Chain A
Amino acid sequence: MYNEKIISIFQHLKNSGEIRSCSGIGKVGDAAQGDVIKVFLKIEDNIIEQAKAKVFGSVATIVCVDVAMGLIKGKSVEQALELSAQDITEIVGTLPASKKQSVMLAQEAVEDAIRDYRKRQLRATIKAD
């Protein structure tokens, strides 16, 4: 069902886990409906220094999220928001038809983590003022 690239990435996940003192957390999905993704970002000077994720879901989702974390690492927040489905599928190859939503979930999780980061930034700014 899955191509060799997906299986190979699944066997050697690089970005699985959590970051203790992170700058933003993104959470998407609902276990009752499908997959759940929790993304942890460590951002310094607007650059994503670290990106890790925990996933409850299919191999496709686990792999897409892992790849997404790798792609946004070292990028600016704005560049991370430009992460496209194509960026992910270029690396993972073709996904089974029933797993297409995995790419979208990975993108949404990144966006949600950045949203959280920006909220925290805003709160910090207000507090400083």
Chain B
Amino acid sequence: MKKVYLDNAATTYVSNEVLTEMLPVFNHVYGNSSSLHSFGRESVALLDRARDRIAKAINAGGSEIYFTSGGTEANNWAIIGLALANRAKGNHIITSKIEHKSVLDACKYLETIGFRVTYLPVDANGFVSIVDLIHNLNDDTILVSIMAANNEIGIIQNLQTIAKIAHEKNAVFHTDATQAVGAISIDVKSIGIDALTMSAHKLYGPKGIGALYVRKGVKINNIIYGGNQEKGKRAGTVNVAGAVGFGKAVEIAARDMSVNNKKLKTMREYFTNNIVKLIPDIKVNCTTVQKLPGLVNISFDYIDGEALMTLLDLDGIAVSTGSACSVGDIEPSHVLSAIGLTPEQSKGSIRFAFGKSTTKEEVDYVITCLEKNVSKLREMSPLTKKSKK
């Protein structure tokens, strides 16, 4: 059976260039980077190179990059670590309603220990309300955390404006750039980012490795204890092979960004235009041009997204009904609810995330299968235009 992978926002394959660079680290340069002998030193050299490559991609310094086990840990660390480090100044945090769960759940935890959190609304495209941000910022605000690009709808926030406003009240600005790094250019200095979350497996690197950029001079508390790794900031033996793969993946992503983005955007537009033309009663979510080039989220009226996803899966096509981290949730997506979709529309939504290897032939196959399966499920559905009214 034909297999088409359109779930690249959940994870990507490890590219050959990345894998080639990682392999010797598993069985040749395998020293613990905390060890003082030559084996350890060799690993340290690899880690430093990886750190520099990652730093270069976001215009940071290598010493400002701390490796983590992934984006979730980096987000947890940023939210909890920055809040605790700045508690003497205030106890108010501002974030948005469409953040990843690793930010939202960390904020919920902070609420249980006395912090106050404001969850900013977004408009129909997912843009955070700047007016609401200004309105809610006060002298007690210590942290503003707004994601760079959303994993479900692809909206890219106006980071520079948000950072500027946060800094006017001396709040630290963190951004979850898990979906953004490698897809859009990010310059932490010119934007004014104090902390930034990254993950390797969204950009053709390995799973199990991420990083948190923390601007020099920004105070952050530890959340993992038990060793002096990462300059005493994050305990635990560093995943050297993962870090090497991450560094290479970021380097490739930066190198190929304009070519990949042009291709992804063309693919996305071709797909979306065809779907809009061929399938009635749909809604393309997030229609602004300021969004990730390879992602589109569409709501199909009268049908359940999970059933559609399963039918597509039976045709060999991998898509997602929301974020992979929300699988098993029975509540509608918090992101789609925040942009104003009804629970019914939210239930009928599918995320299509194209990758750098996606071909036009594959997209054509998906369009054909989608049209067939939407029609099949609609025939089975008791909901109609009339019942909706």
Show the binding face of A for B, using Cβ within 8 Å.
Answer: 1-2, 7, 10-11, 13, 16-17, 27, 31-38, 54-59, 62, 96-98
Contact = CB atoms under 8 A, between A and B. Distances in A.
Contacts of B302: 56
Nearest to A35: B304
Given A2-B310, A10-B307, A32-B343, 16 more contacts: A13-B380, A16-B379, A31-B343, A31-B344, A31-B347, A31-B383, A31-B388, A36-B382, A36-B383, A56-B381, A57-B304, A57-B307, A59-B307, A59-B310, A96-B328, A98-B330
A42 to B, nearest CB: 17
Contact of B328 (A2, A11, A38, A98): A98
Given A31-B343, A31-B344, A98-B328, A37 B382 contact: yes
Interface in B267-316: 302-304, 306-307, 310, 314
Contacts of B304: 35, 56-58
Contacts of A1: 327-328
B359 interface: no
* A interface majority secondary structure: mixed
A1 B344 CA distance: 22
Contact of B380 (A2, A16, A31): A16
B310 A32 contact: no
A55 B379 CA distance: 9
B228 interface: no
B342 interface: yes
The 3 closest A-B pairs by CB, nearest first: A38-B382, A54-B382, A31-B344
A55 B380 contact: yes
A27 to B, nearest CB: 7
Contact of B383 (A10, A11, A13, A56): A56
A16 B381 CA distance: 9
18 contacts: A11-B314, A13-B380, A16-B379, A16-B380, A31-B343, A34-B330, A54-B381, A55-B380, A55-B381, A55-B382, A56-B303, A56-B304, A56-B383, A58-B304, A62-B307, A96-B328, A98-B329, A98-B330
Contacts of B347: 31
Interface in B25-49: none
Nearest to B303: A56
Nearest to A31: B344
A35 B343 CA distance: 11
A27 B383 CA distance: 11
Tell me which of A1, A35, A59 has the highest count of chain B C-beta atoms within 10 A of its own C-beta: A59
A96 B381 CA distance: 22
Contacts of B303: 56
Contact of B306 (A7, A32, A54, A58): A58
A33 B331 CA distance: 9
A16 B307 CA distance: 14
B327 A27 contact: no
Contacts of B343: 31-33
B342 A32 contact: yes
Interface in B84-142: none
Contacts of B327: 1
A17 B380 CA distance: 6
A32 to B, nearest CB: 5
Nearest to B380: A16
Tell me which of A11, A27, A37, A56 has the highest count of chain B C-beta atoms within 10 A of its own C-beta: A56
A54 B381 CA distance: 5
A38 B387 CA distance: 12
A14 B303 CA distance: 19
Contacts of A62: 307, 380
A56 B345 CA distance: 12
A32 B381 CA distance: 15
Tell me which of B303, B327, B347 has the highest count of chain A C-beta atoms within 10 A of its own C-beta: B347
A55 B343 CA distance: 16
B65 to A, nearest CB: 36
Contacts of A59: 306-307, 310
Contacts of B380: 13, 16-17, 54-55, 62
